[in-house]
Structure 1
Amino acid sequence: MNDSDSLTDRDGIADYALTLVHEIRNPLTNIDLSLQMLSDQIQDNDLRVYLGIIRRSSDRIGKILKDLVNHQKVDHGFHCDQSLHAILDEVILLASDRIALKNVKVTRDYVSEDCIVIVNFQKITIALTNIVVNAIEAMDPTQGELKLVIRSTDAAHQIRIEDNGCGINDVGMKNLFKRGFSDKPGGIGIGLYSTLKILKSNNVDIEVQSKAGSGTCFTLTFSKNRNP
């Protein structure tokens, strides 16, 4: 394949992505309009909580679509100093509705001194959110415990994301980051595959410890001596 063929392929992919954005926005607009009508009709506070969740989820989808449209205008390789504390706090905020719906207990155990790393904030946030959402989905409602730990050594900063969920069996561990692999009903096997690519592009090492029935721990290591 020559350079012109490669450019043509990329243009085709970009055009297809924009088409998908357009098609997704149509039903998303219907959802937003329906939410407006329901908001005027539903007065029960318990039900309005779910309206809020739907609204925030719709806004999140809209933001993702906007970012996709602006993809060519943004330098997605941009790395700069970022706070691990702030990154994890943002991840928990993004996952807050899922946490509330499953009544997950969240514990933050951060080292007192902030840990600064050189990463792409947007991409790292997406990667960690994927891990956290998977952890939430693996736990039983009302019994879930999610622990977020930040530690620092002379050589590296480290994040641990621990859950007390169903764990991962041997087949799952072997195929965990493979594109298209998923053991969840309706799963398409993209989340952790994309997560690994993001972590590699930011020079973050990942280790996973898990057994079926005993929960899972993701450990992310950010070396102090290695820049993207």
Structure 2
Amino acid sequence: LTFEQHSLQSLMDEAVAESLDRITLQQINMQIRYASTPCFIMANKEKLRIAFLNIIINAVEAMEPGKGLLSITVESSKNLQVVVIRDNGCGIPAENISRLFEPYFTGKMKGNGLGLTNTQNIILNHKGSITVKSKPGQGSTFIVTLLQHLDGENA
């Protein structure tokens, strides 16, 4: 994989733009909050965009058309960059949360169970972490944490 410096905000903008048709079709409200300064990371832009896109699409599919709220936050915390993607969808049963990243595990009628497996692998290849918080009927929150990259640092 080739890693270059990228702004998390611009990566997220691309993932959102790619999912905008689904968001619009489902009449999902969107709330995006970015840190006021660019959050730089070393990333394979294409892979990380796919990881964020997978999370966004899952969130959109979990929400009721016309009633959904998708919240995306990008912020810095010490030497970390944190992305929080939250939905108010159907939520994930507690017994399924530990299996979310297993290959071929899916709670969807039309899923192959590889989206979040690939997402986790991409995040791990970026030396990051991904965690999930969810309650059935209340929605889900995916938190992706990546190392900050400052100008002048070697990758």
User: TM-score interval w.r.t. the shorter chain?
Assistant: over 0.9
Partner of 1:124: 48
2:98 partner SS: helix
The structure with the largest strand share of the pair is 2
Whole-Å separation in 2 of the counterparts to 1:191 and 1:197? 10
Pairs within 5 Å for 1:206-225: 206-224=130-148
Q: Runs in 1 of length 4+ with deviation above 3 angstroms? A: 225-228
Q: Deviations over 1:66-122 (max 9, x none)?
A: xxxxxxxxxxx0001001110110011000110011000111111110111001000
Whole-Å separation in 2 of the counterparts to 1:156 and 1:199? 14
Q: CA RMSD in A?
A: 1.5
Whole-Å separation in 2 of the counterparts to 1:227 and 1:117? 11
Whole-Å separation in 1 of the counterparts to 2:98 and 2:136? 13
Would you say the 8 A contact 1:203–1:227 is kept in 2?
no
The structure with the largest helix share of the pair is 1
Gap regions ≥5 residues in structure 2: none
Structure 1 counterpart of 2:127, one-letter code: N
Partner of 2:78: 154
* TM-score in terms of structure 2 length: 0.94
Whole-Å separation in 1 of the counterparts to 2:154 and 2:83? 17
1:98 partner SS: helix
1:165 partner SS: coil
Partner of 1:163: 87
Would you say the 8 A contact 2:39–2:148 is kept in 1?
no
1:138 to 2:56 alignment: no
Shift of 1:227: 7.9
Would you say the 8 A contact 2:40–2:148 is kept in 1?
no
Whole-Å separation in 2 of the counterparts to 1:151 and 1:227? 22
Shift of 1:155: 1.8
Partner of 2:25: 101
Partner of 1:29: none
Shift of 1:206: 0.9
Whole-Å separation in 2 of the counterparts to 1:216 and 1:108? 16
Identical amino acids, percent of aligned pairs: 34
C-alpha distance 137-113 of structure 1, shift in aligned 2 (>3 A)? same
Q: Deviations over 1:153-201 (max 9, x none)?
A: 2221111001000100022202100001001002110100111111111
Structure 2 counterpart of 1:191, one-letter code: G
Whole-Å separation in 2 of the counterparts to 1:104 and 1:141? 7
C-alpha distance 227-132 of structure 1, shift in aligned 2 (>3 A)? farther
Partner of 2:104: 180
1:131 partner SS: helix
Q: Which has the higher contact order (CA 8 A, sep 6+)?
A: 2
**What count of residue pairs does the alignment treat as equivalent?**
152
* TM-score in terms of structure 1 length: 0.64
